[in-house]
Amino acid sequence: MIYFSARPITLQQVDTKQYESLRKFRGRFSKNALREDYKDVQQFRTLFTRQLAQTVNANFTGLRAHDRARDDGQGELERARSRRRREQETEEARYRRNQIRNERDAERARYRKVNTVGGATVWEFASEPHHYACPTCWDTSIMMLQPQSAMSGEFYCPRCKTSYPIGPMQPLPPETARRSPNAWG
């Protein structure tokens, strides 16, 4: 906004050259759009206060809308990011679970269920070092059975304390025995 004083003055006070320049300058602003004329300070104050409020309100509202739009945009972006993060975490968790399961399966695949000489049904490791695993604990973990005493043929699980009459340990298949002559310690 530009304000022009329309205050009455005496002609003697007027520098005609300057007044002509001012008139041209004033003519460049159409009335009501950008230009206001005021007769005295009181009117100037009223006009200026009202128009300032209107201008600020218009622009401020615009800014607020802009801020909201920007915040919405950022919120959307942030939501998309955390969604992707959650997806990645889920993927990783799934991958880890699969890995653990595969490892467990691979480990369990090396055992076979056997009926021992002593009459127990246990899991026998198919490789070296030769040992038996507790069938009671099998679903939770692979627990290696421990001999109760040197030659009794009685084994027990250190976890669930179940005893298994396995009987005298059978020698390993010949090819395994050859590869590990000290397997029986």
Token duo for residue 156: 């027990």
Token duo for residue 58: 């218009």
Q: Min. distance of Cβ 106 from Zn ion in angstroms?
A: 21
Q: Min. distance of Cβ 87 from Zn ion in angstroms?
A: 39
C-alpha–C-alpha distance, residues 176 and 167, integer Å: 20
Chain residues binding Zn ion by CB under 5 A are 134, 136-137, 143, 157, 159-160
DSSP state of 13: G
- Residue nearer to Zn ion on the CB measure, 142 or 172: 142
Which residues neighbour 6 within 8 Å (Cβ) at sequence distance 6 or greater? 37, 38, 39
CB of 159 within 8 A of CB of 137? yes
Q: Min. distance of Cβ 155 from Zn ion in angstroms?
A: 10
Q: Min. distance of Cβ 157 from Zn ion in angstroms?
A: 3
- Residue nearer to Zn ion on the CB measure, 93 or 160: 160
Strands 35-38 and 2-5 come out as parallel
CA distances from 90 to 2, 95, 108 (A): 63, 8, 26
